[in-house]
């Protein structure tokens, strides 16, 4: 049986066409001004917190400051928006829309904000230095986001659209630059796991039994795959298109990237807020008509009974166990995944956490373990001469933030050196391969003398 309980995606796309961006904003997002919001660290720098969202949108697309109308970036870029979509798991969407519980909507909002913060931390600007391109972290973006409750087939599917403008602030040069979102796109695998981690922890706090399984996906006790399958018509639609394509193209690989393209190409217009509420009411009536409300009401009632006991027990043990659990997880992941593959590293670490500790606990544990390793390596043998010790200047105490900043820069340089080495190795392999192919061609090519011996020239004979 297919697993419908774990569909959580943080997807990434680029919008280059201005007409496409304007149409997307006007037709699909403009009616959601009620819950649309602007965010990112550039909000305070641009001072646009209280500005109308449509004015900010139009100005940024034209590369103008929303208030002063001055030019922002030195050059115009073809890339206008970097679009992300954070989608909740199907059982969570079904439970939330049926229960209409504010706590559940707030849980999705909190998990989404954590995922967005993770993505924003990888915002970069590309610079040219020594005839090479380098990406430098800025961690400052401007985005607008809005929440939708239904899929394109009007099934329960809570998701948030997050659109980053192609804009960031370069602190070194004190100016606005084009956003390099390559690392942000790669960070979606980490953001997905952060979203899942927060969702499970917050659900357990209010007494809803949720867990993360070994592959990193979510299960909510009391909500079956059969119930989720009834309200996954959009997934079934994409599955059919994928199956037909595979049948006609058996040698082609059709993974998540293919499914994302299918979903983007084959989609109906989103419904209006009024239509959305109508479909939600119809969904609740259908749940009650099919007696599926029994299982959902049981989940809700169990949460009301057990929330205080579960969270009190969890809170009492949290302080004494979270640090130990995080340290154990980091040590296990250190042995499995090199940190130079940081996205895979943190994805593995958050999956290993399974909701027991959050991303910040893991990050603190990683910093402390790395710092302990550095101190252990730099430990010196004590000198017996007390006079020498007395005259030696005391080493400056380095704060954790300063150490981590230096360590991060060091590891980034190591990773850049590793990438450069890999590049030159690939170049060398191509050169050697090219030489070998040329030698093989020359070996198979007949020599000039052989051609003359095998095919002597025919001289004309002239009769007398």
Residue 227 CA to residue 4 CA, distance in Å, equals 9
Instruction: Mark whether 408 and 290 lie in a shared domain.
Output: no
> What's the pLDDT tens digit per position in 348-365?
999 888 888 888 889 888
CATH number of the domain at 304, please. Answer: 3.30.930.30
20 belongs to a structural domain = yes
Highest mean pLDDT range out of 195-209, 212-226, 295-309? Answer: 195-209
353 belongs to a structural domain = no
On the question of pLDDT at 133 being above 90, the answer is no
CA distances from 311 to 114, 142, 211, 462 (A): 21, 36, 15, 113
On the question of pLDDT at 428 being above 70, the answer is yes
Give CA angle at 386 (383, 387), nearest 5°. 115
56 belongs to a structural domain = yes
> What is the value of pTM for the model shown?
0.73
Range of the domain at 406: 400-443
319, 345, 367 — which closes off a domain?
A: 319
319, 349, 367 — which closes off a domain?
A: 319
Instruction: Mark whether 73 and 199 lie in a shared domain.
Output: yes
> What's the pLDDT tens digit per position in 162-217?
999 999 999 888 899 999 998 999 999 999 999 999 999 999 988 899 988 887 78
461 belongs to a structural domain = no
Residue 111 burial (C-beta neighbours within 10 Å; 0-12, 13-18, 19+):
buried
Q: What percent of the chain has pLDDT over 70?
A: 76
Residue 233 CA to residue 263 CA, distance in Å, equals 12
Residue 210 CA to residue 111 CA, distance in Å, equals 14
Instruction: Mark whether 33 and 144 lie in a shared domain.
Output: yes
128 belongs to a structural domain = yes
Instruction: Mark whether 195 and 290 lie in a shared domain.
Output: yes
Q: How many structural domains comprise the chain?
A: 2
The most distant pair of C-alpha atoms in the chain lies apart, rounded to whole Å, by: 124
Contact 306, 207 (CB under 8 A): yes
Instruction: Mark whether 405 and 315 lie in a shared domain.
Output: no
Task: Give the pLDDT of residue 165.
Answer: 92
On the question of pLDDT at 99 being above 50, the answer is yes
Nearest to 90 by CA among 189, 231, 296: 231
Contact 184, 190 (CB under 8 A): no
Highest mean pLDDT range out of 109-118, 277-286, 385-394? Answer: 109-118
> What's the pLDDT tens digit per position in 2-40?
444 333 456 666 766 666 666 666 665 555 545 788 999
319, 339, 357 — which closes off a domain?
A: 319
On the question of pLDDT at 50 being above 90, the answer is no
Contact partners, residue 184, CB within 8 Å, separation at least 6: 12, 82, 119, 120, 122, 123, 124, 164
Instruction: Mark whether 296 and 407 lie in a shared domain.
Output: no
Beta bridge partners of 434: none
Instruction: Mark whether 295 and 413 lie in a shared domain.
Output: no
Instruction: Mark whether 287 and 414 lie in a shared domain.
Output: no
């Amino acid at each position: 049986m297919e697993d419908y309980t774990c569909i959580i995606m943080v997807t990434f796309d680029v919008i280059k066409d201005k007409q496409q961006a304007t149409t997307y904003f006007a037709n699909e997002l403009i009616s959601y001004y009620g819950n649309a919001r602007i965010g990112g660290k550039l909000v305070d720098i641009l001072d646009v917190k209280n500005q109308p969202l449509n004015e900010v949108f139009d100005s940024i697309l034209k590369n103008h400051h929303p208030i002063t109308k001055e030019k922002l970036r030195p050059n115009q870029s073809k890339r206008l928006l970097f679009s992300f979509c954070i989608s909740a798991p199907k059982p969570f969407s079904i439970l939330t829309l049926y229960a209409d519980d504010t706590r559940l909507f707030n849980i999705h909002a909190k998990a989404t904000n954590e995922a967005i913060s993770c993505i924003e931390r990888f915002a970069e600007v590309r610079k040219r230095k020594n005839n090479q391109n380098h990406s430098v972290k800025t961690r400052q973006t401007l985005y607008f986001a809005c929440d939708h409750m239904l899929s394109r087939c009007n099934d329960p599917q809570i998701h948030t659209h997050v659109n980053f403008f192609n804009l960031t602030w370069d602190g070194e040069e004190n100016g606005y630059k084009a956003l390099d979102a390559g690392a942000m796109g790669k960070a979606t695998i980490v953001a997905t796991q952060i979203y899942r981690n927060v969702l499970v922890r917050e659900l357990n706090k209010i007494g809803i039994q949720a867990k993360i399984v070994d592959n990193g996906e979510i299960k909510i006790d009391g909500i079956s795959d059969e119930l989720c399958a009834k309200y996954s018509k959009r997934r079934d639609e994409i599955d059919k298109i994928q199956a037909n394509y595979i049948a006609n193209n058996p040698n082609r690989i059709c993974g998540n990237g293919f499914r994302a393209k299918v979903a983007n190409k084959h989609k109906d217009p989103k419904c209006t807020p009024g239509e959305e509420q109508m479909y939600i009411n119809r969904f609740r009536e259908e749940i009650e008509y099919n007696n599926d409300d029994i299982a959902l009401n049981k989940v809700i009632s169990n949460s009301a009974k057990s929330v205080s006991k579960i969270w009190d027990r969890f809170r009492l043990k949290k302080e004494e166990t979270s640090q130990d659990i995080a340290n154990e997880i980091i040590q296990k992941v250190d042995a499995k995944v090199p940190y130079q593959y940081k996205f895979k590293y943190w994805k593995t670490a958050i999956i290993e956490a399974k909701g027991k500790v959050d991303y910040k606990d893991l990050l603190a544990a990683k910093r402390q373990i790395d710092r302990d390793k550095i101190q252990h390596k730099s430990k010196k043998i004590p000198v017996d001469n007390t006079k020498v010790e007395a005259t030696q200047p005391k080493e400056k105490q380095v704060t954790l933030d300063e150490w981590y900043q230096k360590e991060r820069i060091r590891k980034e340089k190591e990773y850049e050196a590793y990438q450069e080495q890999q590049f030159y190795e690939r170049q060398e392999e191509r050169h050697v391969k090219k030489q070998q192919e040329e030698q093989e061609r020359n070996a198979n090519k007949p020599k000039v003398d052989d051609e003359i011996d095998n095919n002597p020239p025919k001289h004309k004979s002239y009769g007398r």
